[in-house]
Amino acid sequence: MGAWFYIILAVIAALLLFGVLPVLVMSFIIYSVLLIRNKPDKWGRVCSFPDDPEYKRMFDTGIEWGEKYKDKKSPVEVKSGRFRLAGEYFDFGGDKAVIIISGRTEGCLYSYYFAEPYRKSGYNVLVIDNRAHGLSEGKINSLGYREYKDIIAWSELLKAKGNNTVVLHGICIGASTALFAATAKKCPEHIKAIVTEGMYVNFYESLKNHFTEKNKPIVPMAWGVVVHLFFISGANVVTDGPIKRIAYMKKPILMLQSREDTYSMPELAQKLYDKCPSADKKLVYFPKGAHSRIRINDEEAYDRTIEEFLAEKGL
């Protein structure tokens, strides 16, 4: 073989060694921080951002709600695939229930904060530790691509408890998970509707916005994270996601969106809404609130919007 062949091999080897490999290593570190529970106390049943006054107020207000209705609460669990999953069930005596699905890093206690409009609407409340969170088993956050099966398992538990109507309320990644469950071929009939807050079109768009905010290079680091997501989490976050799945959404859906959300951009919420074929869909914009923080900026309007939607749809 000629000298040029060995030169080309050397160049390729150098690119892999000094270019691709470092990117993959560094992006794996980012991926691991974001989406792998690599120690038992990571993503537990505690406030994830105790130094953030607004976030802490949300968490503490939720804890007060849980304490107020602690006589209605019981621990519950389901088996989904090979994972044992944990949650808490508040039985207010009705025959319908909501599953509140939090985003990344949050255990079930965080979800107390979003329960009140459902209690006032006659719903029992199920708050859950997503897999790899709280007391649930698992190590990898798959952004709903696998967790949607967990939600279906939880809904079956609620049906066994006499709940003939189940509504899914998802925040951020939880919104994507709710949509994946509601549009799955094996979605049970008793899942009647979903409510989403801050749903992104796909996780890659949200990831890019996070990188921009932190002044981190999208190319090549975000691309590296996408590679790890695909091969480890089983998540295709570029060509798949809510913008694709929502085309199959036939059940009622209420989309809550803040105009101040810098991760799930408000203008993209309209694209999701327009693509949704459901005859019972509603998109409501709120003027204030960072990502996942609409309710803390206007609890009355947030709760009223949900209560009116449920009443209008006979849910």
Question: Average pLDDT for residues 66-91, to the nearest whole number?
Answer: 97
Residue 303 lies in a domain: yes
Residue 286 lies in a domain: yes
Residue 216 lies in a domain: no
Q: What is the pLDDT of residue 29?
A: 82
Question: Average pLDDT for residues 25-29, to the nearest whole number?
Answer: 78
Cis bond before residue 75 (omega within 30° of 0): no
Q: What is the pLDDT of residue 20?
A: 57
Task: Count structural domains, the chain.
Answer: 1
Q: What is the pLDDT of residue 176?
A: 96
C-alpha 99/C-alpha 155 separation (Å) is 8
Residue 8 lies in a domain: no
On whether the CB atoms of residues 118 and 125 are closer than 8 A, the answer is yes
Residue 231 lies in a domain: no
Residue 258 lies in a domain: yes
C-alpha 130/C-alpha 305 separation (Å) is 26
- What's the domain range around 160? 36-201+241-312
Residue 24 lies in a domain: no
pLDDT in tens, 198-207: 999 998 888 8
Q: Check whether 222 has a pLDDT greater than 90.
A: no
Q: What is the pLDDT of residue 8?
A: 40
E-assigned strands of the chain?
A: 73-80, 83-90, 96-101, 124-128, 165-171, 191-197, 253-258, 281-286
C-alpha 112/C-alpha 88 separation (Å) is 10
Using pLDDT thresholds of 50, 70 and 90, give the confidence band for residue 18. Answer: very low
Q: What's this model's pTM, rounded to 2 decimal places?
A: 0.91
Q: What is the pLDDT of residue 188?
A: 97
Residue 178 lies in a domain: yes
Q: What is the pLDDT of residue 12?
A: 39
Q: Between residues 3 and 51, which one has the greater pLDDT?
A: 51
Read off the CATH number of the domain in which 135 is found.
3.40.50.1820
Q: What is the pLDDT of residue 210?
A: 78
Question: Average pLDDT for residues 13-26, to the nearest whole number?
Answer: 55
